[in-house]
Amino acid sequence: MTVKVNMVVPNLSTKPAQSRGRLSTLFKAILIICTVTLIIIALFLSLGIIRLPQFGINILAAFVYTAMIALPSMFLLDRIGHRCTDQYTRLVALMQALALVFTATFGCLAAGLVLQIVGILPYGTYWPHFRANLAFSIVISLVVGLSISFYESLRSRFQVAQLELRTKQVEQERAYKLLAEARLSALESRIHPHFLFNTLNSIAALIPRDPQLAEDTVGKLASLLRFSLNANQSGLVPLRQELKIVRDYLEIEKTRFGPRLMYEIAAPAALDAVKVPPLSLQSLVENAVKHVVSKRQQGATIQIVAAEDSGRVILEVIDDGPGFALEAITPEHGIGNLIARLELLFGADGRLEVTRVNEKTAVRLSFPASLE
């Protein structure tokens, strides 16, 4: 059974449209306002409320063409951009070009009709005027429309990239926070008052009958606490260093449990330099001492095995206990802490499994081998 700890990052904001050619709300609002303004001016002109010189009439006619072409173009491009994705980039560009040809033709027809209604375009010149302006309108519509669509597509992609960057930054910050919490939890578990009190009591009992062993135990305790403090600054440590701490810890506990605690360590010298998470094996060994050795009258044997297989480091802690379910492990527990650290350091490549083999419980760590 393998357990993974996944971090959930909340949605930072509404994801911007990733569709190609979506037009901005500001651009659409400006275009609608300009179109309404032109309609009002044309209406006043037709009613004789205002009069314009020939230069002004020519400018107004140009703006009427622009409005009649740009307004339907805006909605069609926006619809195409909304419906289609970047997966079909060339098809989308072709559809937009065809849409612009259609809106340019429709806009010329509509603009000519408006100009004739308000009296700017004389009767009988509608179709010649349409044919004279159609080609120019199509070219301008294609150039301007496709340019705006391309710009909006780049703007949308930039917004998506910004959101992804912010999301990654939040994930990284959470990872650092979780790593700090995991290391702090590991440090706190090492200096748990019960462990310290039990060790100090054992040392006090050893002083009159075996001063040398008491002195050795004090040295091992100091080494363990020093390693715990240094581990707070280390991502990975050599396996030989981790095994030394495991031995020191087991020797300290042997002063309490005596012959009830037996252990074996099988780790080839070739793996001494392999990097492992600090206090990883020690957490598993501590769990075995606390829940197996201390609970059994006859004590228990703890086996620590290190191996390498297909570029992966495999660390096992085997004991005589009944086993446990990883689903019941909380993040505050030492093993929950270890699972979180594996996730941070190795992602999906870091695994922790619990199995039963020959009436023994084996807790296995596996992750990619590294000598860096």
Q: How far apart are CA 9 and CA 167, in angstroms?
A: 7
Q: How many residues are given for the chain?
A: 372
Centroid of chain to Cα 282: 30
Residues of the chain by 3-state class (helix, strand, coil), percent to 5: 65, 10, 20
According to DSSP, the residues that pair with 275 across neighbouring strands are 238
- Give the residue with greater pLDDT, 186 vs 342: 342
Strand (E) or helix (H) holding 125: none
- Give the pLDDT mean for 120-126: 79
Confidence of residue 363 (pLDDT cuts 50, 70, 90): very high
Given phi > 0 = left and psi -120 to 50 = alpha, else beta, which region is 286? alpha
Residue 334, pLDDT > 90, answer no
- 59-110: per-residue pLDDT in tens? 777 777 777 787 787 777 777 766 655 556 677 778 888 888 888 888 888 8
Tokens representing 126 are: 């509608």
The pLDDT score that the predictor gives to residue 264 is 94
Q: Taking the alpha carbons of 225, 231, 233, 239 in that order, is the dihedral positive or negative?
A: positive
Least confident range from 9-18, 33-42, 290-299: namely 9-18
Q: How far apart are CA 176 and CA 324, in angstroms?
A: 29
* Percentage of the chain modeled with pLDDT above 90: 15
Give ∠ CA 38-143-64 in degrees, rounded to 5: 15
According to DSSP, the residues that pair with 262 across neighbouring strands are 301
- Give the pLDDT mean for 288-302: 89
Given phi > 0 = left and psi -120 to 50 = alpha, else beta, which region is 347? left
In 3-state terms, what secondary structure has residue 108?
helix
61-65 LR contacts (CB < 8 Å, sep 24+): 61/111, 61/115, 61/120, 61/121, 63/34, 63/38, 64/38, 64/111, 64/114, 64/115, 65/107, 65/108, 65/111, 65/133, 65/137
- Start-end of CATH 3.30.565.10 domains in the chain: 191-368
According to DSSP, the residues that pair with 362 across neighbouring strands are 318, 355
Q: How far apart are CA 304 and CA 264, in angstroms?
A: 6
Give ∠ CA 324-330-332 in degrees, rounded to 5: 125
**Residue 130 burial (C-beta neighbours within 10 Å; 0-12, 13-18, 19+):** middle
According to DSSP, the residues that pair with 26 across neighbouring strands are none
Q: What mean pLDDT is reported for the chain?
A: 77
Confidence of residue 1 (pLDDT cuts 50, 70, 90): very low
The pLDDT score that the predictor gives to residue 233 is 59
Query: 335: which residues sit within 8 A by CB, 6+ positions away?
Result: 283, 284, 287, 326, 329, 352, 363
- 208-264: per-residue pLDDT in tens? 888 898 888 888 888 888 877 776 556 688 999 999 989 988 998 888 888 999 999
- Give the residue with greater pLDDT, 366 vs 146: 366
Sheet containing 261-266: order of strands: 261-266, 300-309, 312-319, 360-368, 351-357
Given 3.30.565.10, 3.40.50.970, 3.50.50.60, 3.10.129.10, which CATH number is that of 191-368? Answer: 3.30.565.10
- In degrees and rounded to multiples of 5, residue 264 shows phi and psi of -135, 140
- Give the residue with greater pLDDT, 172 vs 57: 172
Tokens representing 58 are: 């020519």
- The answer to whether 78 and 23 have CB atoms below 8 angstroms apart is yes
- Give the pLDDT mean for 277-292: 88
Query: 319: which residues sit within 8 A by CB, 6+ positions away?
Result: 288, 292, 293, 300, 301, 302, 303, 360, 361
- Give the pLDDT mean for 158-162: 84
How far CA 130 is from CA of 56, 68, 298, in Å, comes to 20, 13, 103
Tokens representing 68 are: 């009649």
In 3-state terms, what secondary structure has residue 113?
helix
The pLDDT score that the predictor gives to residue 165 is 87
- Give the pLDDT mean for 166-177: 79
**Of the candidates 105, 65, 87, 75, the residue with the CA atom closest to the CA atom of residue 18:** 87
- 14-71: per-residue pLDDT in tens? 444 444 444 556 556 666 766 676 666 666 666 566 666 666 667 777 777 777 787 7
